[in-house]
Structure 1
Amino acid sequence: MKVLSMILAGFVVGYAIGDIRPFDSLLSSTAEFGSLATIVNGLTVLALTACLTSVALARSSARGVLVVAIGAVLVVLFRTVGMVTGMFGDWAGAVGAGALLGASAVLAGRHRGAQASLAVAAIGAGLLGTALDALLQVDDGPVFVWDVVGAEDAVVPERAIIMVIAALGAALSLFMAHRDVALQSHETRRTLLVGLPLPVAAGVLSWFAGGHDSGDAVWLGALAGMAVLAVVAAFAFPGRDGRVLLVLFASATIGSMGFAVEDSLQLAVSAALLVVGAGIGYRWPQVYVGLGGLLVVAGAALIEGYVALPPVSQFALPFVVAYALVSTLSTAPGSLSVALPALFTMTLPVTVYAASYQPGLSLSSDNAVATRTSEPDHLVLSVAGLVVVAVVTVACAVLMRRPAVVSGSS
């Protein structure tokens, strides 16, 4: 029941992340950065909230953490079904998902199976949730009826129904599994030290890289800055906890948003590979094997740009990412709550668009037209990804020399 509760809670978090629309992959051939985003976007709010929630609940009772977790589930649910709309709804959804992630990490404690379930479910739903929505909305797919009153409501019926089922299951399983559990306190100072500046600084770098007049040099500089940021943050965590952050950052760099999903079969294969990779990583954890797999995927992505090969790297990626991630667990609850959003916050836009305006039919309004202004070529993207994964591998090797930390203190 503890593992099931984490799976459902992670799914709710990940599905909410999919609704916030994370950036596209750095290596995906179809990646497009549709519009310039502000530094403080929904993913940043989610990451900050997860950090603050895990720290605030570090010494709370299980019942207190449960109240926060179930309340956060309901907030995400209300946002999804259109009961909380507009900008307030956007903020509520991001804060609710972040609070659920932080509370779930605390409830998972250092139980390796619970942490792996939460992480894989959140990542899987975050990466594949949008693809699931698209498949459910095709013309020949199932049709659901969902009447919502109000011009501001933009509810996707399929997403709403899925979220209702998942949220109710998460709330019930969380209560059943953790109502009588004794929680252990964990490190709080370092969680704040890393968790608060990390997503904001990553957002600033992404903002620079996404400027409509930025060239390859600016983009590569932003990526180098992101790598430095990830390494420094990883070493600021106690013991070996920073490995989780490094693995997720490397995954984001080589294209973890680029799972190949075009039909239901590919969606099922991607999800299955994610689960299988996590299962093998749980049973036979080998950190260096996982990092080696990421290097192989990055190298394959480089070769695929010049040799006619099947897109093996896109299908191997879910398996390798899940294996590498689970191999680095367990970690402190606070470290987990900070590291998981990094897969979505520590990415850079690939294709940069600038909005130009052309006169419309009405004399009082203009039509905005997005035009592509810059895009690093495949060689730049692939080599950069390969270098970053190599740097992360070296950093993880250094972290492995540290003694493991069983419990933290503030």
Structure 2
Amino acid sequence: MKVLSMILAGFVVGYAISDIRPSYSLLSRTAEFGSYWAIVNGLTVVALAACAAAVALARVSARAVLVVAIAAVLVIVFYTVGMVTGVLGQWVVAVGAGALLGAAAVLAGLDRGAQSSLAVAVLGAGLLGGALDAMVQKNDGPVFVWDVVGAEDDVRPQRAIVMVIVASVAAIALFLAHRNQVLQPHEPRKILLVGLPLPIAAGVLSWVAAGHEARSVEWLGALAGMTVLAVLAAFVLPRRDGRLLLALVAVSAAALGSFGFAAGDGAQLALSVGLLIVGAGIGHRWPQLYIGLGGLLVIAVASGIEGYSDLPTGSKFALPLVAAYVLVSVLATSPGSLALSLPALFMMTLPVSVFSASYEPSLSMNESVISRTSEPDHLVLSVAGLVVVAVVTVACAVLMRRPAVVSGTS
């Protein structure tokens, strides 16, 4: 029941994140210019709220944490069905998702299975939630609207139905699994020294990468800055807790050339979900961080080959398997580190400019051909991702020299 509650809570968080527009990051298979809107729409707020909630709630009783978690679930539902609209609604859902993530991390404690379930659910729902929405949309049949406060256009009935069902079950599972729980010792306030500045600094770098016409130099500079930022933050966190942050940055970097998980249709979506589950299971049974990082290096190389020669390598199909394996292999960690690291996969991924490269009339003159390219180009993205994964691997090796986290300590 504890693992189930974490899966459901993670799905609610990730599905809410998928509505806050992480689709403008390279982890989406349809990256678009304009990801600075992701900052406005709440990813930074999610990260700040998650870190602050994890540190604050670890100092209260388990019942109080449970109340906050269930209240956050309801807040997200209220936004999804259109009861809170506009800019206020965006702030509400962002704070709610962050509070739920922080509370769930505290309830998961140092239980590796619970942490893994929460992390993989956030990862999967956050990255594949948009594809799930597309699959459940119906273009024919009766159309209905919700009788709610605010504009009807603010509500997507299919998403609302999914969220209401999952959130209701999540609230019940959280109550049943954690009503008699005793919390671990509280988190050190030192976590706030990383968790609060990190999203803001990452947002500035994302803005730099998205805000220039001649983008390659600025984009590569922002990527270098993001890598340095992640490494510094990882070393400030206690003991080996920074490995999770580094692993998530490595996943993001490996995705640069492959443009994310395969989710073009229902079959690909199901395959990506299945590979996430398999990767998590293997990582839980045989955790080997360096094997996982090596897999990410292979994916980055394969993406580079694909970008240089247009030879399909299937890297986007291997990515969810390896990503889940790496993620689970570095757990367990402290609840505070878990809460501040999970948003990093969405928050610390730089935008890429995708635009129409050419517009050529066809022979019939009735049709035209528009080709899409990116700036930086595919090969540069792949090589940059390969370098970042290599740097992160070295940083993880240095962090491994630190003492391991002892169960029952913070």
TM-score (norm 2): 0.90
Mean CA deviation greater in 387-396 or 211-220 = 211-220
Aligned residue number for residue 146 of structure 2: 147
Aligned residue number for residue 259 of structure 1: 261
Aligned residue number for residue 288 of structure 1: 290
CA RMSD of aligned residues (A): 2.1
In 1, the alpha carbon distance for the partners of 2:215 and 2:92 equals 36
User: 1:220-256, CA deviations, whole angstroms, 9 ceiling, x for partnerless residues?
Assistant: 1100000000000011111111110001011112227
The answer to whether the Cα contact below 8 Å between 2:17 and 2:126 also exists between their aligned partners in 1 is: yes
Matched, 1:136 2:136: yes
Match of 2:276 among 263, 268, 274: 274
User: 1:311-349, CA deviations, whole angstroms, 9 ceiling, x for partnerless residues?
Assistant: 411000000000000000000000000000000000111
In 2, the alpha carbon distance for the partners of 1:170 and 1:198 equals 29
In 1, the alpha carbon distance for the partners of 2:313 and 2:183 equals 45
The answer to whether the Cα contact below 8 Å between 1:73 and 1:96 also exists between their aligned partners in 2 is: yes
Aligned residue number for residue 300 of structure 1: 302
Aligned residue number for residue 317 of structure 2: 315
Distance 1:183 1:40, change over 3 A: same
In 2, the alpha carbon distance for the partners of 1:150 and 1:173 equals 29
Distance 1:315 1:173, change over 3 A: same
CA displacement at 1:147 relative to structure 2: 2.6
In 2, the alpha carbon distance for the partners of 1:98 and 1:150 equals 24
Distance 1:82 1:322, change over 3 A: same
Query: Residue 331 of structure 2 aligns to which amino acid in structure 1?
Result: L
The answer to whether the Cα contact below 8 Å between 1:18 and 1:125 also exists between their aligned partners in 2 is: yes
In 2, the alpha carbon distance for the partners of 1:160 and 1:219 equals 36
Distance 1:53 1:150, change over 3 A: closer
In 2, the alpha carbon distance for the partners of 1:9 and 1:184 equals 20
Post-superposition, which runs of at least 4 consecutive aligned residues in structure 1 deviate over 6 A? Answer: none
| Contiguous gaps of at least 5 residues in structure 2 | 356-371
CA displacement at 1:216 relative to structure 2: 1.1
**For residues 50-61 of structure 1, what are the structure 2 equivalents within 5 Å?**
50-61=50-61
Matched, 1:48 2:25: no
Distance 1:237 1:143, change over 3 A: farther
TM-score (norm 1): 0.90
In 2, the alpha carbon distance for the partners of 1:74 and 1:198 equals 28
**For residues 23-42 of structure 1, what are the structure 2 equivalents within 5 Å?**
23-26=23-26, 30-34=30-34, 36-37=36-37, 39-42=39-42
**For residues 50-199 of structure 1, what are the structure 2 equivalents within 5 Å?**
50-139=50-139, 145-153=144-152, 154-199=154-199
The answer to whether the Cα contact below 8 Å between 1:213 and 1:374 also exists between their aligned partners in 2 is: no
In 2, the alpha carbon distance for the partners of 1:53 and 1:214 equals 40
**For residues 288-367 of structure 1, what are the structure 2 equivalents within 5 Å?**
288-351=290-353
Distance 1:168 1:29, change over 3 A: closer
Query: Residue 4 of structure 1 aligns to which amino acid in structure 2?
Result: L
The answer to whether the Cα contact below 8 Å between 2:251 and 2:323 also exists between their aligned partners in 1 is: yes
In 2, the alpha carbon distance for the partners of 1:182 and 1:149 equals 39
In 2, the alpha carbon distance for the partners of 1:40 and 1:164 equals 25
| Contiguous gaps of at least 5 residues in structure 1 | 354-371
CA displacement at 1:307 relative to structure 2: 2.8
In 1, the alpha carbon distance for the partners of 2:28 and 2:86 equals 31
Aligned residue number for residue 385 of structure 2: 385
Distance 1:216 1:131, change over 3 A: same
User: 1:276-327, CA deviations, whole angstroms, 9 ceiling, x for partnerless residues?
Assistant: 0000000010011111011011111000112343341100000000000000
Identical amino acids, percent of aligned pairs? 69
In 2, the alpha carbon distance for the partners of 1:29 and 1:267 equals 12
The answer to whether the Cα contact below 8 Å between 1:23 and 1:349 also exists between their aligned partners in 2 is: no
The answer to whether the Cα contact below 8 Å between 2:13 and 2:100 also exists between their aligned partners in 1 is: yes
In 1, the alpha carbon distance for the partners of 2:11 and 2:46 equals 15
